[in-house]
Amino acid sequence: MDNKIIGSASLNSVSLKDKEKHRGVIGLSILKEYWGLAIGNILFSTIIELGKEAQYKQLELQVVSNNTSAISLYKKYNFIKYGENPKAFLNRENKYQSIDYMRLEIE
């Protein structure tokens, strides 16, 4: 075992203001060579459970629009796309990449 970090997940509040504290933001990252091993699924389901325990009413995330495997994972957990930014960032080839905004409403 080489004690290498192969993935991470985070859950943060959008804001501590009363009008926004019901919203949590999820971050998820897995090294590419470890994709397809269910690591993302384990981390993601854990983060959603933590969001429920924290009593968030809505969980949100951003995903690169052409990342079909990540989007498929998020849809599996009933996240829906609610927006898109077609020029969210520049990639290594200096071309714009689009991101999708997704959310899950928890009731």
Q: Which tens digit of pLDDT belongs to each residue from 59-104?
A: 999 999 999 999 999 999 999 999 999 999 898 999 999 999 999 9
13's CB contacts (< 8 A; 6+ apart) are 20, 21, 23, 24, 25, 56
Distance of CA 42 to the CA centre of its chain: 13
Q: How far is CA 22 from CA 16, 57, 71, 88, in A?
A: 9, 5, 23, 25
The whole-number pLDDT of residue 2 equals 77
82's CB contacts (< 8 A; 6+ apart) are 101, 102, 103
pTM (two decimals): 0.88
Domains in the chain (CATH in brackets) are 7-105 (3.40.630.30)
pLDDT tens for each residue of 21-51: 999 999 999 998 998 899 989 999 999 999 9
